[in-house]
């Protein structure tokens, strides 16, 4: 089984590569620290890619989407610190085959990698427990992303995440360009991000702009 590890933290990335390389029947064929490096991995030589969600200024969700677009047979196992339902759903929507938390044990990592390689879809124990609780409690598992935003701010952010500029957004929502600028400014402030690009990364990680 051939694997690659994509993570912007070198200690974690090298540690995970070392763990995987020590397992019987598994060889590490590549490592990447960001989206640019991940997108030049030789997909025809890799069976499973372990993917972090936060790659510095890049999004692991968008990187996964592009890898799956390039090779629908690529199997991505997300390994992240994030355990919220929206992140899980967003990853599955773009084609990830599994979702594992970074607190997983070596045995859990091995089981997940082998399961994904065999074509299974797998959730780590903590994530699966949350999903079962949501289903058996009768509550909807869907959570509104960015609850601190107003409905209008969330609507504008969704369009920003789809790549639309302010003029296009103003036309689609029948708002003045000035109003759109003000809304975007409010969104950046509430999300505590420095610019539009960072807001897009955050929005797509939460599932906005992906349909």
- Where residue 192 sits, what CATH number does that domain have? 1.10.10.10
Query: Do 110 and 158 have their domain in common?
Result: no
Six token digits for residue 34: 């960001």
Query: Do 126 and 161 have their domain in common?
Result: no
Q: How would DSSP label each residue in 39-52? A: TTS-GGG-SEEEE-
Does 143 fall in a domain? no
Per-residue pLDDT, 61: 86
Q: Is the pLDDT of residue 134 over 60?
A: no
Does 210 fall in a domain? no
Cα(185)–Cα(12) distance, integer angstroms: 35
Grouping H, G, I as helix, E, B as strand and the rest as coil, residue 29 is: strand
Query: Do 128 and 169 have their domain in common?
Result: no
Query: Do 11 and 85 have their domain in common?
Result: yes
Mean pLDDT of 47-58: 89
User: How many domains would you assign to the chain?
Assistant: 2
Query: Do 30 and 83 have their domain in common?
Result: yes
Per-residue pLDDT, 126: 67
Q: Is the pLDDT of residue 140 over 70?
A: no
Cα(87)–Cα(83) distance, integer angstroms: 7
- Residue after which a domain boundary falls, among 111, 136, 161: 136
| CB of 100 closer than 8 Å to CB of 109 | yes
Does 142 fall in a domain? no
Does 66 fall in a domain? yes
At 129, the pLDDT band (50, 70, 90 cuts) reads low
At 56, the pLDDT band (50, 70, 90 cuts) reads confident
CA angle (125, 129, 130) in 5-degree steps: 125
At 45, the pLDDT band (50, 70, 90 cuts) reads very high
Cα(69)–Cα(76) distance, integer angstroms: 12
Six token digits for residue 187: 């969104």
Between 123 and 26, the higher pLDDT residue: 26
CA-based Rg of the chain, rounded to a whole angstrom? Answer: 18
- Residue after which a domain boundary falls, among 102, 136, 170: 136
Query: Do 92 and 30 have their domain in common?
Result: yes
- Residue after which a domain boundary falls, among 136, 163, 190: 136
Find the DSSP H helices in 102-211. 106-117, 125-136, 151-161, 166-173, 177-191, 196-205
pLDDT 10s digits, 6-33? 999 999 999 999 999 999 999 999 999 9
Mean pLDDT of 51-74: 89
Between 125 and 186, the higher pLDDT residue: 186
Cα(39)–Cα(125) distance, integer angstroms: 29
Query: Do 120 and 195 have their domain in common?
Result: no
Six token digits for residue 88: 């899980």
| CB of 53 closer than 8 Å to CB of 78 | yes
Query: Do 32 and 101 have their domain in common?
Result: yes
Per-residue pLDDT, 136: 56
| CB of 192 closer than 8 Å to CB of 198 | no
Does 82 fall in a domain? yes
Query: Do 130 and 169 have their domain in common?
Result: no
Q: What is the CATH number of the domain that holds 75?
A: 3.40.50.2300
What domain range is 55 assigned to?
2-136
pLDDT 10s digits, 154-197? 899 999 999 999 999 998 888 888 999 999 999 999 888 889 99
Query: Do 172 and 114 have their domain in common?
Result: no
Per-residue pLDDT, 137: 57
Query: Do 22 and 98 have their domain in common?
Result: yes
Q: Which helix (H) or strand (E) holds 17?
A: helix 10-21
């Amino acid at each position: 089984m051939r694997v690659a590890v994509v993570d912007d933290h070198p200690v974690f990335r090298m540690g995970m590569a070392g763990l995987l390389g020590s397992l019987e029947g598994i060889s590490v064929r590549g490592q990447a620290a960001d989206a640019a490096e991940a997108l030049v991995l030789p997909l025809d030589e890799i069976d499973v890619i372990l993917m972090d969600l936060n790659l510095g200024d890049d999004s692991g969700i968008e990187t996964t989407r592009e890898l799956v677009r390039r090779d629908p047979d690529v199997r991505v196992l997300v390994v992240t610190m994030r355990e919220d339902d929206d992140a899980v759903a967003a990853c599955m929507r773009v084609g990830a085959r599994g979702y594992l938390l970074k607190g997983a044990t070596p045995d859990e990592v091995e089981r997940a990698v082998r399961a994904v390689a065999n074509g299974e879809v797998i959730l780590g124990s903590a994530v699966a427990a949350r999903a079962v609780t949501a289903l058996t409690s009768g509550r909807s598992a869907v959570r509104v992303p960015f609850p601190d935003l107003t409905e209008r701010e969330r609507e504008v952010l969704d369009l920003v995440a789809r790549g639309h500029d302010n003029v296009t957004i103003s036309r689609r929502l029948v708002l003045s360009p000035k109003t759109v600028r003000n809304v975007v400014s409010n969104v950046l402030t509430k999300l505590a991000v420095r610019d539009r690009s960072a807001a897009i990364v955050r929005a797509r990680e939460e599932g906005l702009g992906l349909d």
